[in-house]
Amino acid sequence: MDPPDSHSDDLEILLRTPLFRGVSPSDLHLIARASLRRRVPRGTVFFRQGEPATQVSVLTRGRAKLTRVDPDGREVLVRFVAPAEMFGGIAVLGDSTYPVTAEAVMPSEALSWQGDAMAHLMRRFPQVALNAMRLMAGRIQELQARLAELAAQRVEQRVARALLRLARQAGRKVEEGVLIDIPLSRQDLAELTGTTLYTVSRILSRWESQGLVLAARERVVIRLPHGLVTVAEDLEAGGG
Amino acid sequence: MDPPDSHSDDLEILLRTPLFRGVSPSDLHLIARASLRRRVPRGTVFFRQGEPATQVSVLTRGRAKLTRVDPDGREVLVRFVAPAEMFGGIAVLGDSTYPVTAEAVMPSEALSWQGDAMAHLMRRFPQVALNAMRLMAGRIQELQARLAELAAQRVEQRVARALLRLARQAGRKVEEGVLIDIPLSRQDLAELTGTTLYTVSRILSRWESQGLVLAARERVVIRLPHGLVTVAEDLEAGGG
DNA sequence: CGCTATTTTGAGATGGCTCAAGCTATGTGG
DNA sequence: CCACATAGCTTGAGCCATCTCAAAATAGCG
C-alpha cells in the first residue's frame, strides 16, 4: 500500500531519530501512524515565530533553518535542522508560541505530531520523554557554548567554529575536502555568527587564498579542517 | 525535632519550586528527605565546570552564579540562581559533566539529590519530569533570546536588558527604586553581557548622571525602569 | 587605619560596521 | 543559444563603538 518513499522510509528515519531512541520498531510504527507527513519545496515556512505552537516535528528529508527576528528587525540564525532531528518541540513543551521561524532551505519533508498527541505518546512511552529531556539538555549546552563564544571571541574565530560545527552536522566528504551539504549563503553565516555578510565574505576570501576552504555561491568546502581548528582556537600568528 | 530553619523551611521553599510544582506536600516531604542540605559561605563553589555531574540542586537561600570559562580563559556569566530555582540539572540529564561552574555569591543553602535518586523521583512523580521539561524549554528560549541579543545589539542595550532581567528575577523595591538584590560587580555585568568592565562602568556612570540608576559598589538600583526599557529598545535619540 | 578589591576616567588603537559600487554565476525568456 | 535579469558575492574607503592599557580615586574589611 505504501509507496517505497513514504511510510517505509519514514520508519527508517524514525529508527535513527534521537527523540525515539529505544522505542521498538513496532511501537515506532504506531507512532508514525499518528503523524502527519508534509512534503514541501525550498522556501516553505513550516511555522513562524510568534504563532501559537501546535506541533512537534521531525525532519525526514532535506534541511530546514530556524531563525529568530530581533525586535529591531535583525535576523539571527539559531540552527539548521538535519534529517532525523526534532524541531518545534521546545515551544510545545514550554511556552505556547514558537520562539523561532522554521523554513525549508531545500525540498524537504517532515513528520509532525499535534502537541497533545505527543504528550500522549510521552505518557505511553516514557523513554520518549526521557529522550526529549536529553535532547533539550544537549541543546542548552550548545546554546551556552555559543553564547560564550559570541561574548568572548572575535568574528573570525566564530565563523571558523560555525563552519566546523556545520561540517560535523551536515558534512559530506568530497574530492576537495568536506562539503557543508546545506545551501549556505554569506548572509546565513553572518546571521549564525552575529556579524555582517561583508565581514564573512572577506574572511572566506582570505581563507580561500590561504587554501583553507573553497567558497562558492551558497557553498563552502573545508579543505583543511585542522587549519580551521587552528583559527578557531586562535593559535594563529596572524597569517598572510 | 527539626530546628525552625531547616526541614520546615525547606518544605516552604520546595512548595514554590517550579521543579516540584503540582507535587503534594506529603510527597514533597518524602522528596525533601531524600535530599542533602548544604549550607555554605560566600565564595563557595558547589561544583566546577568539567567535573562529572552527580547531583541536581535547588537553592533554598542566598544566590549563586553559573559561569563558564572559554577555552581562551575568558569568563562568561551564564545566569544567577535565586532561591527555589534548580541548578545543575542540565548536566545530570544530558552530558555527564557540568557545563558551568556554580558559586555562591552570598551565604547560601542548597538541597541536592544524586542523579539516580532524581531519576527515581521522576519515575515515581512524572509531574516532576514534566516540570523539568518545561523548565528546560524556558531556559532554551531565554538562551536563544540572549543569543539574538548578543548577536544583534549594541552593548548599551544589552546592559539595559540584563539589568531589567535581573530586576525581574531578583528585584526588591526600595525607597529609591528597584534594587537588584545580588552582589553585582561591574565585572559581573560585563561577563553577563559580553563586554568589558570598563565599558559597563562608563555606561552606568552615564545612566547615573541621567538619573536612570543608582550605582554603587556591587550594587545597582534602577530608579526609572521605563527609562531603561527605552534604552533597551533603542528608542533613544542619543541623549546628553 | 592601612590594605585590597572595586570602580572611575583618560587616551589611544582598531576590529568590524556601514555605505557604495562593481562583479559573477545562474536561470529565463526571446 | 544568446542577452538580459537577478540573487549572491566581492571589494574599497571611512568611521566609530568598543577594547586596551594605564593610572588614580573609593570603599569596605581586617
Instruction: Write phi, then psi, for A187 (nearest 5 degrees).
Output: -60, -45
- CB-CB under 8 Å, A151 with B194: yes
Domain annotation covers residue B240 = no
Same structural domain, B142 and B168: no
Domain that holds residue B186: 153-232
* Residue B184: per-residue pLDDT: 98
pLDDT tens by residue, B56-83: 999 999 999 999 998 777 899 999 999 9
Which grid cell sits at B64?
549563586
Determine the distance between A217 (CA) and D4 (C1') in angstroms.
20
Do A167 and A80 share a structural domain? Answer: no
Q: Domain for residue A237, yes or no?
A: no
> Minimal Cα distance from A141: which residue of B?
B99
Same-domain pairing of A88 and A161: no
pLDDT above 90 (res B226)? yes
CATH number of the domain enclosing A201: 1.10.10.10
Q: Is A181 exposed, middle or buried (0-12, 13-18, 19+ CB in 10 A)?
A: middle
Q: Is the pLDDT of residue B7 over 90?
A: no
The SS3 of residue A167 is helix
Shared domain for A69 and A141, answered yes or no, is: yes
pLDDT of A239 reads 40
CA A193 to chain centroid:
14
pLDDT at B126 over 90: no
Among A97, A129, A150, the domain-final residue is A150
At A95 the pLDDT is 66
**Residue B203, amino acid:** I
The whole-number pLDDT of residue B91 equals 82
Mean pLDDT, rounded, for B118-129: 90
**Separation CA B144–CA B129 (nearest Å):** 22
Give the residue nearest to nucleotide D7 (CA to C1').
A217
Q: Which of B150, B169, B197 is the last residue of a domain?
A: B150
Q: Residue A97 falls within a domain, yes or no?
A: yes
Q: Same structural domain for residues A215 and A110?
A: no
- Using CA atoms, how far apart are residues A158 and A122, in angstroms rounded to an integer? 37
Q: pTM of this prediction? A: 0.92
Taking the C-alpha atoms of residue B28 and residue B31, their distance in angstroms, rounded to an integer, is 5
Give B173-214 pLDDT, tens digit per residue. 999 999 999 999 999 999 999 999 999 999 999 999 999 999
Instruction: Kindly state whether residues B115 and B159 are assigned to the same domain.
Output: no
Which of B146, B24, B27, B135 has its CA nearest to residue B84?
B135
SS3 B90: helix
**The pLDDT value given to residue A130:** 87
Let me know if residue A2 belongs to a domain: no
Strand A177-180 relative to strand A213-216, pairing? unpaired
Query: Would you say residue A240 lies in a domain?
Result: no
CATH of residue B50's domain is: 2.60.120.10
Query: How many contacts does A have with B, using Cβ atoms within 8 A?
Result: 131
Which triple of cell numbers denotes residue A116? Answer: 497533545
A217 CB and strand D closer than 7 A: yes
Instruction: Give residues with Cβ within 8 angstroms of A234, minimum separation 6.
Output: A153, A154, A157, B72
Residue B43 lies in a domain: yes
Closest CA to B147 of A142, A232, A98, A186: A142
Query: Are A184 and A223 members of one domain?
Result: yes
B142 CB within 8 Å of a chain A CB: no
Single residue among A150, A180, A203 that ends a domain in this structure: A150
Same domain, A53 and A122: yes
Q: What are phi and psi of A94, to 5 degrees?
A: -100, -110
Same domain for A132 and A220, yes or no, is no
**Same domain assignment for residues B36 and B92:** yes
Burial A47-80 (b: 16+ CB within 10 A, else e): bebeeebbbbbbbbbbbbbbbbbeeeeebbbbbb
Rounded to 5 degrees, φ, ψ at B238 are: 145, -35
The verdict on A100 touching B (C-beta cutoff 8 Å) is yes
Checking if the pLDDT of B146 tops 70, the result is: yes
- Tally of structural domains, chain B: 2
Question: Quick check: A74 and B147 CB within 8 A?
Answer: no
Classify residue B76: in a domain, yes or no: yes
B216 within some domain: yes
Residue-level pLDDT at A5? 52
pLDDT band at B28; cut points 50, 70, 90? very high
The answer to whether strand D lies under 7 Å from the CB of residue A6 is no
What local confidence, expressed as pLDDT, does residue A91 receive?
82
> pLDDT in tens for each of the 240 residues of chain A?
445 456 677 889 999 999 999 999 999 999 999 999 999 999 999 999 999 999 999 999 999 999 999 877 789 999 999 999 999 998 877 668 999 999 999 999 999 999 999 989 998 998 998 899 999 999 999 999 999 999 999 999 999 999 999 999 999 999 999 999 999 999 999 999 999 999 999 999 999 999 999 999 999 999 999 999 999 987 664 443
- In 3D, which of B139, B127, B128, B44 has the Cα closest to residue B87? B139
CB-closest option in B90, B100, B194 to A137? B90
Average pLDDT, rounded, for chain B: 92
CA A193/CA A79 separation, integer angstroms: 11
Is nucleic acid strand D under 7 Å from B185's C-beta?
no
B110, B196: one domain = no
Q: Are residues A89 and A115 in the same domain?
A: yes
Contact criterion met (CB below 8 Å) for B15 and B25: yes
